[in-house]
Structure 1
Amino acid sequence: MTTITTTDELAAFCARGREAPYVTVDTEFLRERSYYAQLCLVQLALPGDDDDNAVLVDPIAGDGMSLDPLYDLFLDTSVVKVFHAARQDLEIFHVDAGLIPTPLFDTQVAAMVCGFGDQVGYETLVRKVARQSLDKTSRFTDWSRRPLSVAQQTYALADVTHLRNIYEHLSARLAETGREKWVAEEMEVLNNPETYIVRPEEAWQRIRTRNGSGRFLAIVRELARFREAHAQARNIPRNRVLKDDALVELASTKPRSPEDLSRGRLLLREARRGDIAEGILKAVKAGLECPDDALPRLDAGRDIPQANPALADLLRVLLKAKATEAGVASRLIASAADLDALAGGARDVPALHGWRHEVFGSDALELCEGRVGLAVKGRNVTTVPL
């Protein structure tokens, strides 16, 4: 088991990696005590079962080690970078170096395209494809502590060694079915830098609330903006500043003074004084003073009326039938929100674009517009002209 702790060792391995068709990648990190993830370990594996083809890169033990050789490998377009459920890993590299590994292959997405189910886990793929089992005893561990135990190292390395077999199996299946372009379409979101950027002025859109009042939402927007900016600047979790339920409570009670804040039921003690309290009061004031023509409204995707509940139910039946027929996870084709939006008359939803249109969207539109109905033939559900 090889652990890399110097820049020269990393450069030597990455030079080998640039001669390979692909490299599998995973990370271990901590995020419980910070806004941005703390990178603790990078696991890499090249094709082949030789022991020196899989390594652990330890940026903590390798004090002063530069990850530049790894980033050069990530930018080499002749080598496919293979991850499983890549989003959080990619966010780390984007925040640290402003780059996204390319070309990119996410085995979770590919597995959904290949019919392994919704958001299939790595352990499931290891069992079904590699015919192996994983020791999960080190799953919830503090990866920032050193030295790492043998069990921790073995667990971490397994995240990239089995991934080689999984990638080769899934890429072969995709080639057989002609669905490589489907996965490529899905990679567009992961390849987009905007995926990993959280702008404080947009943070309010993630707050769940049933109150659609423009004034209420203006206060929510300003509180969420303050919370996000404060957490980013100090690299602390946003919930350490203000939890969602407390934020919504503040938007309802509209405190105007420290005395008003002290009566809040859900505020953390640290938020009742100092710069957080000051920021909360300024945010509430800004929301109250927001001009009427600048008041926010709930995103259209969160507020689409369901024009025909029966149609939404029919779309769910059609989706299940089409997903089964295509051997694709239904959740990858269309979300529940997509179906409700379609039933409410929306036409700019992901389910109507790209490969989804071919598999489901075309028939869904025909159903919505009353040109086809659904019929049962044996055990299958199919569309019939009306």
Structure 2
Amino acid sequence: MRTLTTTEDLAQFCEMARGFPYVTIDTEFLRERTYYSKLCLIQMAVPGEDDDTAVLIDPLVEGLSLEPLYDLFRDTSVVKVFHAARQDLEIFFVEAQVFPEPLFDTQVAAMVCGFGEQVGYETLVRKIVKQGVDKSSRFTDWSRRPLTDAQQKYALADVTHLRRVYEFLAARLQESGRSHWVEEELQLLTHPDTYTVKPSQAWKRVKTRTNSPKFLSIVRELARFREGYAQSRNVPRNRVYKDDALIELASTKPGSLNDLGRSRLLLREARRGEIAEGILKAVELGKNCAPEDMPVVEKRDDKQQVNPALADLLRVLLKAKTESSGVAPKLIATASELDLLASGNRDVAALHGWRNEVFGEDALRLCEGRVALAAKGGSVRIVTL
């Protein structure tokens, strides 16, 4: 197993990779103790049948620049293949504001090709490559050096088997004419907004039992402070204070350090110093928020507006469409999206792009009463009215 530890060696490998139609890539990282993922290892492989065409890259080595890899990412003549790429892409975007182009995600492709929802890498290797994957090193500390032989073998397997998985899925997509389906899905993965967390919007991720604008004003300021503090110091947001403590603070509205000391859920470290000062300031800002600046939760169609019979029919139609197309149901439409359709909402993903071809067009016709569903043997067919 070859490990690259110099910029020169990495540049040579990336230059060699440009002579191939694709390269497989994976990463190992840690995130338990930081806000942003700590990149600990990169694995890459070019087409081939053995491990000699694959390498490990150690980004923790002092003086190693990843710029040759980023140059390869920008080379559109080489497809960059990942499995479940979201976390990998976040690392590269945060580090260098670069996305691999063109990108191929085998997890997304597998869902389109009928392998189920969020299918794991081991499953694809077992079904396509007909081999097993030893995952015993999955939860090891990838920041410690030296890496064990087991860790290196595990890491390398994540890109060597991926070659055959990619070739199989790419061929199937080409045969079925569904390559553009995957391309549509990957547009979200390569959009900067997917990986940009704005402190001012962090409150929307906090689950509350009340939609009172006054209460949400304090929640917004507490979430804004926590997110900004966590980002600036690269610590997990829950190490600042957890959501349940945030909700408690928004309810009790502490005005002094003594008030903070009475909190049941606030971490001891958060009751003094910068965090305590930030909490008190955030609460004060939330309490004094002008009515016109208070946050408002977007109203969604509630259950009373949903036509239950139509919602059930849409579920039957979706099941029939997924059986005939072999695409995972949740990839086409979620249960909440079906309810939105049944309530008259037309701003749903199922009515756009490839989803509209597979399901949305007939779903809309069903909602408008232009078609009906009929059982024929063990299948469901669409009847034009």
TM-score where L is the length of structure 1: 0.97
Deviation at 1:50, TM superposition (A): 4.0
Alpha-carbon distance in structure 1 between the residues aligned to 2:249 and 2:371: 50
Q: Does 1:304 align with 2:301?
A: yes
Give the residue type in structure 1 aligned to 2:112.
Answer: V
Q: Which residue in the other structure is 2:288 paired with?
A: 289
Give the residue type in structure 2 aligned to 1:240.
Answer: R
Alpha-carbon distance in structure 1 between the residues aligned to 2:310 and 2:254: 44
Give the residue type in structure 2 aligned to 1:199.
Answer: K
Alpha-carbon distance in structure 2 between the residues aligned to 1:250 and 1:320: 45
Q: Which runs of 4+ in 1 moved over 6 A?
A: none
Alpha-carbon distance in structure 2 between the residues aligned to 1:75 and 1:265: 51
Q: Which residue in the other structure is 1:196 paired with?
A: 195
Give the residue type in structure 2 aligned to 1:51.
Answer: D
Contact 1:100 1:193 in 2 (8 A): no
Moved more, 197-206 or 250-259: 250-259
Q: Does 1:10 align with 2:13?
A: no
Moved more, 278-287 or 313-322: 313-322
Q: Which residue in the other structure is 1:215 paired with?
A: 214
Alpha-carbon distance in structure 1 between the residues aligned to 2:212 and 2:186: 37
Q: Which residue in the other structure is 2:366 paired with?
A: 367
Moved more, 303-312 or 3-12: 303-312
Alpha-carbon distance in structure 2 between the residues aligned to 1:280 and 1:126: 49
Deviation at 1:129, TM superposition (A): 0.7
Deviation at 1:385, TM superposition (A): 3.2
Give the residue type in structure 2 aligned to 1:90.
Answer: L
Gaps of 5+ in 1: none
Alpha-carbon distance in structure 2 between the residues aligned to 1:344 and 1:204: 27
Deviation at 1:25, TM superposition (A): 0.4
Give the residue type in structure 1 aligned to 2:83.
Answer: H
Contact 2:51 2:160 in 1 (8 A): no
Residues 1:347 and 1:183: Cα distance change in structure 2 (over 3 Å)? same
Name the SS of the counterpart of 1:25 in structure 2. strand
Name the SS of the counterpart of 2:235 in structure 1. coil
Name the SS of the counterpart of 2:207 in structure 1. coil
* Matched residues, number: 383
Alpha-carbon distance in structure 1 between the residues aligned to 2:226 and 2:249: 13
Contact 2:124 2:165 in 1 (8 A): yes
Alpha-carbon distance in structure 2 between the residues aligned to 1:63 and 1:106: 31
Name the SS of the counterpart of 1:260 in structure 2. helix
Name the SS of the counterpart of 1:373 in structure 2. strand
Name the SS of the counterpart of 2:327 in structure 1. coil
Give the residue type in structure 2 aligned to 1:252.
Answer: S
Residues 252-293 of structure 1, C-alpha deviations (whole Å, 9 max, x = no match): 222222222222221111111111111111111111111111
1:21-40 alignment, distance < 5 Å: 21-40=21-40
Contact 1:10 1:69 in 2 (8 A): yes
Alpha-carbon distance in structure 2 between the residues aligned to 1:187 and 1:346: 25
Name the SS of the counterpart of 2:164 in structure 1. helix
Give the residue type in structure 1 aligned to 2:130.
Answer: R
Deviation at 1:340, TM superposition (A): 2.1
Moved more, 44-53 or 93-102: 44-53
Residues 1:4 and 1:319: Cα distance change in structure 2 (over 3 Å)? same
Residues 112-141 of structure 1, C-alpha deviations (whole Å, 9 max, x = no match): 000100011111101111111011110110
Gaps of 5+ in 2: none
Moved more, 25-34 or 334-343: 334-343
- Quote the sequence identity (%): 68
Alpha-carbon distance in structure 2 between the residues aligned to 1:248 and 1:149: 44
Q: Which residue in the other structure is 2:261 paired with?
A: 262
Deviation at 1:228, TM superposition (A): 0.4
Residues 287-346 of structure 1, C-alpha deviations (whole Å, 9 max, x = no match): 11111112212234xx32232233222222221111111110111111222112212221
1:154-173 alignment, distance < 5 Å: 154-173=153-172
Q: Which residue in the other structure is 2:143 paired with?
A: 144
Contact 1:205 1:299 in 2 (8 A): no
Residues 1:289 and 1:382: Cα distance change in structure 2 (over 3 Å)? farther
Q: Which residue in the other structure is 2:48 paired with?
A: 48
Q: Tell me how large the CA RMSD over aligned residues is.
A: 1.2
Q: Does 1:347 align with 2:346?
A: yes
Residues 1:264 and 1:304: Cα distance change in structure 2 (over 3 Å)? farther
Residues 123-171 of structure 1, C-alpha deviations (whole Å, 9 max, x = no match): 1101111111011110110000010000000000000001000000000
Alpha-carbon distance in structure 2 between the residues aligned to 1:268 and 1:343: 45
Contact 1:321 1:381 in 2 (8 A): yes
Name the SS of the counterpart of 2:56 in structure 1. strand
Contact 2:50 2:160 in 1 (8 A): no
Alpha-carbon distance in structure 2 between the residues aligned to 1:377 and 1:348: 32
Moved more, 153-162 or 305-314: 305-314
Deviation at 1:51, TM superposition (A): 3.3
TM-score where L is the length of structure 2: 0.97
Name the SS of the counterpart of 1:374 in structure 2. strand
Contact 1:217 1:295 in 2 (8 A): yes
Q: Does 1:357 align with 2:356?
A: yes
